[in-house]
Each structure stands twice: as C-alpha cells, then as structure tokens.
Amino acid sequence: MMSKDNTLDRVHAADMLLKEKIKAARKQLGGSLKDRREQLGISDGMLGSHVGVTANTIRGVESGRFAMDIDLQFKIYNVLGIKSYFSVQRDDRENKKEDMAIEISVQLTRWLDEHPLISRNALCEQVGYDVSNLHKAIHGDQDIPHKYHQAFIEALKPYGFNYGNP
C-alpha cells in the first residue's frame, strides 16, 4: 500500500509535468501566431489595436508568457485569418470587410513609411485625421480607422499611391 506522502509526491510531480506541458504549448501556439502576424505584415501594435489589447499583451501571448482567454483567442484568430478548432457560424461578408480594412491600413502605412517626403501634416489636414495617430499607425502601434481609408487613398493618388498595387 502506498503512503499518503508518496501519493502526494506523485500528484505534485504530475501537476508540475502538466504545467510544463501547458507552458510549452502556449509558447508553441504563440510562436505560430507571431509567424502568421508577421507573414501578413501586421505589427504587434496593430494587431493589439484590432483586438482591444496592448502591443505588450500581444508580445506576451506570442512569447507564451501570457495565456489568452477564449475571447482574445477568437479575436486574434479572426484578424489573422486562422480557423479555430471549434466553429461558430459567422457572416462571411463581415469577415471579408474586416480583412479588407486591415489590408488597406497595412498598405497605406507601408506606403507612407516608404515615402517620408510626403507632408504628413498637410495630408492629415486634408483628410481630417490627427497627425499623431498617423505617426502611431506608421510605426505599427495602431491602425488607420476604416472611415478614413477612402480619404487617404484619394489624397495619395496624385503622389502615386494605388491601392491594390503595393
């Protein structure tokens, strides 16, 4: 017959092993999310902005330091275009609309980053957008809200910006 102390030691050892497995799984999942985010050209700040958390939280999830709840997991998967193991019926038109908004924001900020001689103050004045928020978007800390996309596209056309041709 096993002693009570021996049983507790075995339970403790099993618990420690389980914790290590969970930690390794979080790290592996986080690494996969980071790879996908970078593949899409989305900064940690931009992803955080879309899902309602800070860039630091995204980095913590990607490194495996932070566990994410189901709400955050769903939001991140949605932005990154990852199908989860469980399925919930969603409107495909809404998914496409959100995907397109992210794509436009990424393309605008990349183009602006590559064209530093464009006066961002004048551009923002023309579009009606705050220049400090534009700087944050260019540096990947947030995205350009959907309602400004068309105004930016039109304002940048004379300078050679053509949405859809990066």
Give the residue-averaged pLDDT of 31-41. 92
Does residue 85 lie in a domain region? no
Which pTM does this prediction carry?
0.53
Residue 158 banded pLDDT, cuts 50, 70, 90? very high
Which of the pair, 4 or 25, is modelled with greater confidence?
Answer: 25
Residue 137 banded pLDDT, cuts 50, 70, 90? confident
Percentage of the chain lying above the pLDDT 70 cut: 84
Do 22 and 50 share a structural domain? yes
Which of the pair, 146 or 129, is modelled with greater confidence?
Answer: 129
Structural domain that includes position 142? 92-159
Does residue 107 lie in a domain region? yes
HEC per residue, the chain: CCCHHHHHHHHHHHHHHHHHHHHHHHHHHHHHHHHHHHHHCCCHHHHHHHHCCCHHHHHHHHHCCCCCCHHHHHHHHHHHCCCCCCCCCCCHHHHHHHHHHHHHHHHHHHHHHHCCCCCHHHHHHHHCCCHHHHHHHHCCCCCCCHHHHHHHHHHHHHHCCCCCCC
**What is the reported pLDDT for 59?**
95
